[in-house]
Structure formats: C-alpha cells, structure tokens
Amino acid sequence: MIDMKNTEDYVISNEVMDVNTIILDAYGTLLTPSTLKIRQVLNDFSTEKQKELYNLLKRAQDFDDILEIIPFQSKNKKEKFISDVAKDLDQIKPYDESFSILDYLKDKYTIIIDSNLMPPYNQPIEKNFWSIVNDTILSFQELFKKWEKEHYKMIKKRYWKNGDEILFVGDNYKNDYEYPKRSWMNALHLQRNWKTHTESIESLEELLEILKLSK
C-alpha cells in the first residue's frame, strides 16, 4: 500500500503502478464545502430525539423525505430551512483544478465519486461530474456509510477490485485515508490551505504529479 511521506516515495514505489481505480470524495475535494449543517435544524429537540431524527435523515432518498422527517415547529422555520438549503447549494462550486484533473484521469483510470451526503446535495455532483466519472456512491443510497468497514468491503466486491487496485483521495482523514488503508486500499489525504499531516497532499495537482511520476 502507498505510504505517503513525500513525492519521492512514489517515484520508487511500484505499488501505485497497480492502481486502476481512483475514488474521490466530493465536498472539500472536487467541490467547495457546504456551509450549512442540516443537523443544526434539530437543535430544538432533545438529544435522544435528535439521534432518532438524524438516523432517519441519513436514509432520506430526496429532499421531500427530509422535509417530512423534520418536525418543523412553524411554517416560517420550514420556509427558512428550504431557503437556506437553496442558497447553500447555489454557493457550492467545483474547485478550479477539478475538471482538468478529471480530464487527465478519465482515460487512464476508472473514476468513482464516493460521498457522505443527504439529498439534495447530490445535485452539484450530478450537475458537474455525471458525464465525466464512471460511477457515484452516494451515502443515502447505500446500506453502509464511509465510516463503516463494510462500506469499503462493498466497494471491492461491487467493482471486482483488490485493495491495491484502488486509490482513495479525500479531505476527511478518517473516512478517506485511515479507514481505506485499514481495508488494504491505497489512500491519499487531501488537506487544502494548510497541511498538518505529513501523509497529506495540499491540492489535486499533487495527485496528478504523483501518478505521472509513477508511470
């Protein structure tokens, strides 16, 4: 498995040569992050009720499901929530490098987006990347989430891949780096703007450089 210390490790590593599938996170990796935490709308409820509602929200299949699950205490609160989500979706944009990176990778690798999200946050993914990537794994459509080990087992089984054929790239240290490595996959942690882990990269351009150096 790839052990990211610096780019020189990749030059001498043969293991990256086995990678034929790149799995990218969406928000914070290909897309700018959401600024709205849907879970905050549950703050009016008890801790026990919040847990109950949040578990239901994780299984919502569309935005209408979310609106039915959340017991809004007034019409105004519901309307404000709908407005806030619309504004948040509008401010989400692809990073400048996303399209050039995907354009380079798409003819050389199977490209999959794997994201923990709630509807309607699948919309920016579908709008921007649907025609470029080979597949998407959206948490609200899956039985297991990215923090569960069964999620990574599912990926290897679904795509008929060994762990050394897969490279995970994302900004969540546990979900996109630590847990994939525990499942014997390759992984890179993306940490934009500041870098606190030696095994992290600061942009997707570094991913491109690493893969080019290894070819």
In tens, the pLDDT along 42-63 reads 888 899 999 899 888 888 999 9
* Average pLDDT of every residue of the chain: 87
What pLDDT score was predicted for residue 31?
98
What end-to-end distance do the CA atoms of the chain give, in Å?
A: 16
Strands of the sheet containing 110-115, edge to edge, are 135-138, 110-115, 21-24, 166-170, 186-190, 200-201
What is the arithmetic mean of pLDDT over 112-139? Answer: 95
Contact between 58 and 147 (Cβ < 8 Å): no
In whole angstroms, give the CA distance from residue 139 to residue 145.
6
pTM: 0.86
In whole angstroms, give the CA distance from residue 6 to residue 2.
11
What is the arithmetic mean of pLDDT over 202-209? Answer: 89
Q: How many CA within 13 A on the CB side of residue 164?
A: 7
For residues 70-94, b (16+ Cβ closer than 10 Å) or e, as one string?
Answer: beeeeeeeeeebeeebeebeeebeb
Question: Structural domains in the chain?
Answer: 7-32+94-213 (3.40.50.1000), 38-91 (no CATH)
What pLDDT score was predicted for residue 14?
38
